[in-house]
Structures are given as C-alpha cells and as structure tokens.
C-alpha cells in the first residue's frame, strides 16, 4: 500500500516573525526606559536650607544651597535660579536644616534702622487677623478707659509693620505681636487696655 507523505512546515519558519516582533518590543522598551532615566536625572534644581533658621531671621547666601529633584511631581518649590531673590528675605516660619524652600516660608525682610524699635503687644484671641504674618502692615485700634468709667476708642493713623507673631498661648489663646515702629510713636501704644489689629495694605 502506497502512502503519501505530506510536506511539513518548518516550525522555525513560523516562529521567526514572532521572535522578531518580540525583540522589537523589548528594544523599544529599553530605549524608552533609557530616555526616561535621562530626563529624571536632569530633574529640577531647587533651593534647600543648610542650617536651622528661626522664624523672622534674614536669609543669606550661606544659609542656602541647591539640590536636584528627580521627582516628576509638580511641587511648589523655590528654584535655584531664584537664589538672589531669596537672599535678604525673612523666614515666615521656623525652617529645619535640609528642608527644600517654598515661597510660603519666605516673607519680605526689613531692617530696624536708627530711630526705630520693636514693641511687643499681647493681643487677645480673636483680635488678630487669622492670616497675619511677619512683613504685613497693620493699623492699631485702641480702647482707653477713664476713671469715670467712660471709654475712648481710636485708630492710630500710622501703619506699623509686623516683625513677628507668636503661636497662640495654650492657656488663654493670646498672641504676642511684635511691631516695628518709630520710637517717637511708642508712647501712643502705652496704657491701652484693649488693642485690636487691622491688617492693611501698607
């Protein structure tokens, strides 16, 4: 009995295109990973604080250095290119060494010159604007009580700069607000039984 042998297809011939496609995909993945790696390494150069900085301190160049972040997160940090803008500004909060700098941690700096001084006022809870921060300008509202029981209220005409503001006292929630004022005006704030602060634009 004669039998006919059918030709068989080469297994290697069938798999060659599949292998080629697989190799191409792997190559593309490798190239993509290398490109992503290069972009990550380039990163973003930002400012970081070298030393512990107390609230109200003026930053100088020695307080700052730069680091490169490789994170793709959109974080609001002060870029290294803004070094000159950061130097000379005051810390709005305490900043620990090694902390990347954010715009909210900085406030405008000012210098106590001749004829000026710092006055600390203890302000009751609720008499200080919630958003008050060093560098802000305030007007002072005062109440004076006379011996006959009458009260006199007044708004000081001069706007004062807030130099510092403490955290609320844990017992009575009062806060100590330090104002930079002309020495000649210091006496206007003495003897006031009630003081309120009103934030203004300068």
Q: How confident is the prediction along the chain (202 residues), in pLDDT tens digits per residue?
A: 555 555 555 444 445 566 555 665 665 655 555 555 554 445 788 999 998 988 778 888 999 999 988 765 556 889 989 989 888 888 888 899 999 999 888 887 667 788 888 888 888 888 888 888 888 899 988 887 778 878 888 888 889 988 888 888 889 889 999 998 888 887 777 766 788 899 988 6
Residue 148 shares a structural domain with residue 94: no
pTM: 0.53
Domain residues for the domain of 176 are 116-200
Q: Is the separation of the CB atoms in 129 and 197 below 8 Å?
A: yes
* 71 occurs within a structural domain: yes
* 2 occurs within a structural domain: no
Of 87, 107, 127, the residue at which a domain comes to its end is 107
**pLDDT confidence of residue 12:** 46
CA distance linking residue 2 with residue 130, whole number of Å: 103
3 state DSSP class of 82: helix
């Amino acid at each position: 009995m004669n039998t006919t042998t059918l030709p068989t297809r080469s297994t290697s011939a069938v798999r060659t295109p599949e292998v080629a496609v697989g190799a191409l995909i792997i190559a593309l993945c490798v190239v993509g990973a290398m490109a992503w790696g290069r972009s990550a390494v380039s990163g973003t150069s930002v400012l970081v604080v070298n030393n512990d900085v107390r609230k109200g301190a003026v930053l100088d160049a020695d307080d700052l250095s730069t680091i490169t972040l490789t994170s793709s997160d959109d974080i609001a940090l002060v870029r290294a290119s803004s070094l000159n803008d950061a130097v000379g500004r005051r810390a709005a909060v305490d900043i620990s060494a090694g902390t990347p700098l954010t715009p909210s941690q900085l406030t405008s700096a000012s210098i106590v010159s001749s004829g000026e001084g710092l006055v600390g006022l203890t302000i009751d809870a609720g008499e200080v604007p919630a958003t008050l921060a060093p560098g802000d300008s305030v007007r002072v509202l005062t109440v004076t009580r006379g011996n006959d029981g009458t009260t006199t209220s007044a708004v000081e005409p001069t706007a004062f700069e807030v130099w510092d503001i403490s955290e609320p006292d844990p017992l009575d929630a009062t806060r100590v607000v330090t104002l930079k004022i002309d020495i000649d005006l210091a006496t206007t704030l003495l003897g006031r039984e009630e003081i309120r602060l009103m934030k203004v634009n300068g």
